[in-house]
Structure 1
């Protein structure tokens, strides 16, 4: 679970690459899931993207996967 750290200016999350809680930059991106250019605008989905500020490891998760 992400938490707001009082001593930092960002989110801290568990980084699998670092093996500890580290500051992360978190954003939401619209990503196209279709490899076909025809109707690609209808295959965009929101993804939560977190990038570790310590090692640069990026993780993403489709947001509307229940």
Structure 2
């Protein structure tokens, strides 16, 4: 998971592409999962999105997978 260091952003985590601990920009996005228009308002889920600032590799993970 993410750790902090003395960098400006402070978020470092393992990048599978770089194979190093690198600075990542991390955000949360709400995504609609249903393709049906009548159910779209009930199918929004939070995702954690992480982008490596070294190589640009982006990963996302659904946050409420219980």
Q: Structure 1, unaligned stretches of length 5 or more?
A: none
Calculate the TM-score normalised by the size of structure 2.
Answer: 0.91
Q: Secondary structure at the match of 1:39?
A: helix
Give 4+ residue runs of structure 1 displaced > 3 Å after superposition: none
Structure (1/2) with the larger strand percentage? 1
Number of equivalences: 65
Superposed CA RMSD in Å reads 0.9
Q: Residues of 2 paired with 1:44 and 1:9: CA distance? A: 32
Q: CA deviation at 1:48?
A: 0.5
With 35-44 and 54-63 compared, the bigger mean Cα shift is at: 35-44
Q: CA deviation at 1:3?
A: 0.4
Structure 1 residue aligned with 2:26:
26
